[in-house]
Amino acid sequence: MNSMERRYPLLVDVYGGPNSQRVMEENAVSLSWYFATSLEYVVAVIDGRGTGSRGWKYRSPIYGNLGTVEIEDQIEATRILLKKHRFIDRSRVAIWGWSYGGFASAHVVERDSNRTFKCAISVAPVTNFKYYDATYTERYMGLANAAAYERTNLARNVSAFHNVDYLLIHGTGDDNVHFQNTAEFIRALTEQRVQFELMIYPDSRHSLINVRPHLHELLTRFLQKCFHRSP
């Protein structure tokens, strides 16, 4: 690579929930457009195993195993992108997600043994599927599946969060992913003396629609700090 060739930060925008689809031949204006165009980040969206529109064999491995194959695929696909594209700066890689995506971004931190990701953001994350809507959860996890449920529990092992800059965001009025998820995770992080950034929005619901200007500035400032620090 020419020493003058510019390299860009990589931001992985993750969702990854069962039967979802983010990668398609159309697009909608989103916050990721702003990150890509105004902040000049490379933004990657990855539909790993468990997502929809690719057949049953691709979708089925996630059944009974939330927080496993879809997490592995986010990490592995990111490594492939870093190896393939020389314009990506491998020292500046972050991941962010909302709702199931917040669950996924946190589990990526937990599973990222090679420390590919330097920063991570979780917005309104499920941190333990024992706390989530039974109709949704039992559809994909069943009921008599105690070990798999425990694997979804982020509080059981937070040691990897010492290795990243981490931002956790949640509204106390969230009636989709209850704030209990974040409260229990905060307890685990603080008990293990993990330093992290936290933003709690009183009475805000899952969409955080009433605090979007503040939220967008918060995300921007966190990512700019992440990507402009010394490696």
- Strand runs labelled E in the chain: 8-14, 42-44, 88-98, 119-123, 165-171, 197-201
Active site residue 53: no
Nearest to 129 by CA among 64, 188, 199, 175: 64
Q: What is the dihedral of CA 9, 80, 67, 21, to 10 degrees?
A: 80
- The 3-state DSSP class for residue 111 equals helix
Measured CA to CA, the distance from residue 77 to residue 99 in angstroms comes to 21
The one catalytic residue in 47, 122, 174, 178 is 174
Q: List phi, psi (to 5°) of 215.
A: -60, -45
Active site residue 178: no
Measured CA to CA, the distance from residue 202 to residue 210 in angstroms comes to 11
The one catalytic residue in 20, 85, 89, 206 is 206
Active site residue 99: yes
The one catalytic residue in 99, 105, 122, 204 is 99
Measured CA to CA, the distance from residue 199 to residue 211 in angstroms comes to 11
What are the catalytic residues?
99, 174, 206
